[in-house]
Every structure is written in structure tokens, then in C-alpha cells.
Amino acid sequence: MSLDPITEAIAHFIGFFELAVEEARGRLDYDEFRALKAKQMDGAEIIAVGNFVNTPYQLLDVQPDLHYQPFDQSVVPLWARSHVDGHYLPPATAGADTPHPNTLPGLGGFLLSLGTRFEFTVTPPGSIAVVAQQVNHVYDNDYLNMTDAKVDTMSSDYLDAGLGVLAAEASDIDPIGALTQPDSEIAIADLVEEVARIVRSDQEEGPSEAQIHVAAGADADGIHSNGVRVDEAPLLSDYLPENEEPEEPQPVSVVHGEGHIEMHGDVTLDAGSNLLVNEAFIGSNWIVAPVFAVAGDTVHVNIVSQVNVWSDADTIGSEFSGWLAPDAAATRAFNIASVTLDPAPPADADAEPALSGLPEQWHVTRLDGNLVLLNWIEQLSFMTDHDTAILTHAGSQSLLQTGGNTTINSFSLGEFGNYYDLVVVGGSYHYANVIEQKNILLDDDFVWSQGDFATSGHASLSTSDNLLWNQANIHAAGQMQFESMPDHYLEAMQSLASGSDDLNAGVLGDAAFAGFDSLSVLYISGSILSLKYISQTNILGDSDQIAMFGEEQDGVPTDWTISTGSNDLLNIASIAEGGVDSTVYTGGEIYSDALLYQAELISNDPFGEIGAPSDLASEAVLFLADDMLDPDCDHDNADAGTHAPDTVHVDVMQTMLA
């Protein structure tokens, strides 16, 4: 049985090790035996042994026609020439009209090879399917009341309904929509065809308030940021908050005696600062070849779809207008995508120059059926952080954190396969890379005061400073060009389909194979079905309700620091493919295209479609999709503690709109 080189090397090592161990053991036993033997023979008669020399070897005459040629690592042809009955037998060649190179005719009981070719047995490549679904659900709807007041606030169901409106708007402008995970090989081909129809369709139409940028074909190449082609992509690190170093505690000094202690209050509330991250990477070079010959159709598409939908329309009482910093950062949204198809890197200048001849040897690896390459990655982060806080001065310092949640979905995949010189496909070639990214944010905050609220201390209020970030990259090392099928490739395909492993002179004479000693050929009787799909979605509802009551008690001033925004929604995806510059000969139709779609929609009234809070039926709870919410979650108790007591002292809407 023939073993692969690695297994054979290990087997030899084990054998040598066992021999060394046995030799060491035998040496110990032999030393003891020799000592006993010498003791017995001490003083015995010396035995005379005669020397007999017998040399049966005889030198032969000089053989001038005997040539030695060292074996080369590459595969080389070995030809045999002979004269039989006065007739010269020419060597066999790789041409189509010559006998099979493995023909061994009998000559007087002897076998003489007219042409010899090395045969290789190679395991065909296997199909691969990776399906990953990563889902995060966080429900962090807090209710905090630092007073005895009973305040009427909006139910989180009503806020979730507004988030559902944004999700519906995002679905309306998403060109890809909800793709169904394929459950068969035929479904993969149909899905690639559907993606191709999406690329061919007109994507310019959409809601008038949405900003949509579409680039197709060669216009999709390069780096695009919010619909504008740029030389360098923005850096995420420039927009994330910096990590602040903790302050060193101030030294404490003690002065004995009577003195005056000045009281100062501080109330800090952070109801936002949530982080949602989806990150995915796929690196692949499963099937690489400089030449593909496809009998059927070729469909080759790349598509990137990025959508940001958000609402940050805050309702803030007029008494807090001075709390907002004039240079406060607003909500920012980025759609960054790059589709780069680079030529293969040039050969090493120090490498030996390639031979100028054409290959005379080849071996064929056969795969019956389809070759399937499926990567299906879905990532979803769903979070609601609708906090309700009734604040007042209490003690010298109050630090409240009702947000600060973090969800991360991370996935990385590397697929490294085989290199062939020629891949012959009896069916079709369906290939698609799809990246779909969506960020949906509801950050409509409500801030109002009760009574004669006033403060003489420092006060700051931040309700925005959110970041929505979509970044996608499709990179291929090696460009593909598509051409019609030449006749000699069609003949070779028919020959391989019939079971023969012969290649005609036209295929061997392809300029792509110049300098090759031998060819590695993969024949696939079915189709190549390659689909890489990454879907990333972040959904965050962070509508906070903050009510503040009179704070100056006993003449103690209080500093207020209120933050209800500063949320980060990040989608980062990359598909990287290694390869070489390839030519795809196709017998059927050829379709190759790319689409880059970037859309942004800012909604100023997500609650306009659902009316006032009192109009919301109890069963009108947010359902973004049947599979988005955890079926095991108890929605009846999800908002426990967020509803205000029954007695109503403040009408939140009238107070804010007064």
C-alpha cells in the first residue's frame, strides 16, 4: 500500500527508533555473554583457523552506451527506442493520433514500452459547507425613581413599536432582503441566480428622504465611503471614544480645629454607552487554477449592501437648553465598502526562469457530481435599553449606570484547498460573494423637569454622539477574464466526459501552460457552486425618559451630568480570496458583474405611524421578524418595573410640549 510522504517518513522514523532500542538492549546482553564466554575459554587451546578467499565477482567489459541520468523532482517523460526485425519503432508522443502512452506490446515474450508516463493517484477535492448563526438578545429596560413622586411615563412596548417602524423602513430600502438559506445544491444555484437578478435590477429607486448611492460594474471597484470614492478608508479608531486613564486620588489633608465644611452635590447618570459589534472574516482559496473550462453557463457576481437607519429626535424641556454643549457631537453614520480585484503578485525575480516548452505529461483527477463551496454567516445583535429615571439630589454624590451593555458576535474562517493547472467543468459555474449590513438605532430621548427645578452648579446633557458603522471588504488576488469555449477545449471536455484521460495538442499548446513540465487537471462532471454570504444586523432601542425634580436642598448646589446617547453600532465584514490570474472558457452564457449599494435614512418621527401611547393596543408589541426575538423570552415580564405607578402626578407629553 502506498503511503503519503509524511506518513511514510513517520513510519521510517518509528522503525529506526525501534531498531536502535533493540540494538541497545542486545548490546547489554551480549556484553554479559561475551564475558562469560571469555571466562570459560581462559587457558584453553588456541584454535587455528585457516583463511579462505573466494572471489566470485568478475569485471565486465566497458559499456559505452550506458548513460546515467539523475532523477529530477519534476515529472519527465521516459521514451524507449528499439529495432525489431529490422524495423525502427519511434517513441510515442503526447499527440492525439499516437497510441496510448501506457501501451506495452509483447515482443517475443518480452515487454517493451513504446512510451512511459508517470501516473498519479490524487484524491479529488471535497465540498465544504459552513453555516453559522450568531444571535445576541439583551433587554435592559430599567426603571429608577429616587423620589416618592409617581410619574406617568410611556410603556417600553410603545418605544419598541417605534423601533419596529425603523426596522420596517430599513427592510424597505434593503435591496437584498431576507435570503433563504439554501437546503440543496439546486437551491444554491437558484440563489446565485437570484443575487444576479438583484445586481441587474434598478436600485436607484427608494424613499425620497433616504440617501442612496449605487455603483455597478467597474464603478464599484475601489474604496467608497458614504457613496463617495476615496483613496483611503476612514479609520474606526478616529471615531471611537478614547480610553481615559483613571485619575489619581487627590491627597487628603487634615486640619485640626473648628472650620467650615462646604457641601457640594453631584449626580451622574449614564443611560446609554451601549456597544454592539458584528465581525466576520472569510479567507478562501479552495480551488485555484489559471484555466477553467466550463461547459454550461458562468455566473460571477459580487454584491455589498449597507443600510443605516436611525432616529435621534430628542424632546428636551426648555429649562435644559443651556445644558447642551454647543460643540456636542451629533449622531454619525458611515457606510464604507471596498471591492478590489487585484492581479496576482508577479513572480519572484530571483526565481529560475520558466521553461519555454509545452507539457508532455499530465494527470487527471476526477470528481463525480457537483463541487459545493457554501459559507453562510448570519450575525444579529438585538438590544433594548429603554431606561426611565426620576432623579433628584440625594447625598453628596450619586453615580448611576443604567446602560453600558456590550454584545459581540465574532467569526473567522480560513479555507485552504488545492491548486490545479486546468479545471474542466461538465456543468455550470455559479459564484457569488454577498455582504449585507444593517444598523438600526432608535435614540429618541425625553427629558423634562418637575416643579421649580433649578440648579446653581455645573450641568451638562448629552443625548446624541452615536456611531453607526458599516465596513465591508471583498478582495480577490487574481483577476478572471471570461471567454467563449474554443473547439479544442470542447473536444478535450468531450473526451474526459467519455472516460478517457487524453488531452489534445490544442489544450497542451495553450500559452497559459508554457514552461510546465506536467499538468494537474481536475475534471468535475457536475457544476461548481460557490456562495459566500455574510449578513450582519445591529438593532438598538435606547429611548430614555429622564425626569428631574427640585434639587437645591438646604442650599447645597449640585452638579448634574446626564448622558443618554454615545452608543456604537459596528458591522465589519471581509471576504478575501487568494488565487492567480485566470481565464474562464465558457460554452454557455457569461454574466459577471458587481454591485455596491449604500443607503442612509434619518427618521424624525418613527412614532407618527403608531399614534399616541394611549392608542397602542396591548398586543402591539414589537415583532421585527419571527426568528429575531428569543422564543423562550417571557415578553409579558420583559418590562417588569418599567411601568409607572397607577397614580398620575405628571403628564409627560404635556410637560415636554408645553
What's the CA gap between 547 and 650, in Å, rounded?
A: 10
Question: Is it the case that residue 612 has pLDDT exceeding 70?
Answer: no
What integer pLDDT is reported at residue 141 of this predicted model?
Answer: 95
Question: Is it the case that residue 51 has pLDDT exceeding 80?
Answer: no
Most confident segment among 84-93, 95-104, 375-384, 502-511: 375-384
Give 437-483 pLDDT, tens digit per residue.
Answer: 999 999 999 998 877 777 777 889 999 999 999 999 999 988 899 99
For the chain, how far is it from start to end, CA to CA, in angstroms?
90
pLDDT over 90 percentage in the chain? 48
Neighbouring-strand partners of residue 269: 400, 562
- Amino acid of residue 307: V
Flag the least confident range among 249-258, 347-356, 501-510: 347-356
Residue corresponding to grid cell 410619574: 151
What's the CA gap between 603 and 310, in Å, rounded?
A: 6
What's the CA gap between 559 and 635, in Å, rounded?
A: 38
* Contacts (Cβ under 8 Å, ≥6 apart) of 25: none
What's the CA gap between 306 and 437, in Å, rounded?
A: 5
- Amino acid of residue 106: G
Q: What are φ and ψ of residue 290, in 5° steps?
A: -75, -15
Report yes or no: 258 and 551 within 8 Å, Cβ to Cβ. no
Q: What are φ and ψ of residue 158, in 5° steps?
A: -65, -40
What's the CA gap between 265 and 111, in Å, rounded?
A: 105
Neighbouring-strand partners of residue 399: 268
Residue count (the chain): 658
Task: Show me where the domains of the chain are located.
Answer: 128-230+264-345+359-657
Alpha carbon separation from 193 to 41, 102, 179, 403, 465 (Å, rounded):
94, 44, 12, 44, 41
DSSP single-letter state for residue 152: B
168 compared with 256, residue with greater pLDDT: 168
As a whole number, mean pLDDT of residues 288-311 equals: 95
Q: Which of 569, 615, 608, 655 has the alpha carbon at shortest distance from 157? A: 615
Question: Is it the case that residue 415 has pLDDT exceeding 60?
Answer: yes
What integer pLDDT is reported at residue 22 of this predicted model?
Answer: 82
As a whole number, mean pLDDT of residues 524-537 equals: 96
Flag the least confident range among 52-61, 63-72, 249-258, 642-651: 642-651
CA dihedral 158, 162, 163, 169 (to 10 degrees): 150
Take residue 231 and report the three cell numbers written for it.
Answer: 483613496
Half-sphere exposure of 291 (CA within 13 A, CB side): 21
Residue corresponding to grid cell 584454535: 47
36 compared with 306, residue with greater pLDDT: 306
- Amino acid of residue 583: T
Query: pTM of this prediction?
Result: 0.75
Residue corresponding to grid cell 481565464: 583
Question: Is it the case that residue 97 has pLDDT exceeding 70?
Answer: no
Most confident segment among 27-36, 242-251, 581-590: 581-590
Report yes or no: 303 and 201 within 8 Å, Cβ to Cβ. no
DSSP single-letter state for residue 245: P
What's the CA gap between 283 and 383, in Å, rounded?
A: 30
What integer pLDDT is reported at residue 41 of this predicted model?
Answer: 63
Question: Is it the case that residue 541 has pLDDT exceeding 80?
Answer: yes
> Residue 361 — very low, low, confident or very high, per pLDDT cuts 50/70/90?
confident
**The pairing of beta strand 480-484 with beta strand 582-586:** parallel
What integer pLDDT is reported at residue 72 of this predicted model?
Answer: 53
648 compared with 528, residue with greater pLDDT: 528
What's the CA gap between 351 and 366, in Å, rounded?
A: 32
> Residue 657 — very low, low, confident or very high, per pLDDT cuts 50/70/90?
very low
Average per-residue pLDDT in the chain? 80
